[in-house]
Amino acid sequence: MKNVRFGAFSLIAVLLVSVVLAGELQNLHSVLAEPAPAPKEGKEISPGVTQLPGFEPLPLPEDYGISEIGIERTRCFGDCPAYTFIVAQDGSFRYVGQYGVEHMGEHTGKVSVGRLNQVMAFIGESGYMTYEDTYSASFLDAPTVYSMMVQEGDTKVIENYGNTGPATLWAIEQMIDSLLETAEWDEQR
């Protein structure tokens, strides 16, 4: 009887501590989600990185045949920034800032290959090549965003005027832009 009380007390204590230390969504997840499988011995796939059995690594851009992605934002009648940003699979990029941006003119640099792989995986899984070529609107004074992907030698460029394309296209545009947040810019010559 003592062991049952001690076990129940321990369970209540653990739940209270987790409620106090956890956030709202973490608590909700612990109630709703299936328990995670216990880790097993894995194989080392690169120095210091072990792949656990049953878990597949994040697909790499070459898994989707993606060699390049890019975005170009155009001016509007207001203060819309205008630039072109094209990133290769190895993380190298070329950038041309035209209006309302910190980096004006032509630049090059590198982005995080890890973040780039995630963006390229999302684009590859989104069905980007099946999107319409043009999304337009009947109103004026909106910027146009052109996004681009080169997959297995085929180039797809999508025009998205006034953000009228699908929500996943907007997400792709935001993800490509986010690569600039941690970009390492080469010295300008």
First CA to last CA across the chain, in angstroms?
Answer: 79
Report pLDDT digits (tens) over 66-106: 999 999 999 888 888 999 999 999 999 999 999 998 999 99
Between these two residues, 5 and 176, which has the higher pLDDT value?
176
Q: Which domains does the chain have, with CATH numbers?
A: 2-51 (no CATH), 61-185 (3.30.1560.10)
Report pLDDT digits (tens) over 31-57: 888 776 665 666 665 555 666 666 666
pLDDT at 1 over 60: no
pTM, two decimals, is: 0.72
Cα 111 to Cα 88, 116, 188: the distances in Å are 9, 7, 17
Q: How many CB atoms neighbour CB 92 within 10 A? A: 14
CB proximity list for 141: less than 8 A, separation 6 or greater: 76, 77, 78
pLDDT at 19 over 70: no
Take residue 50 and report the two structure tokens written for it: 């072990």
pLDDT value of residue 85: 97
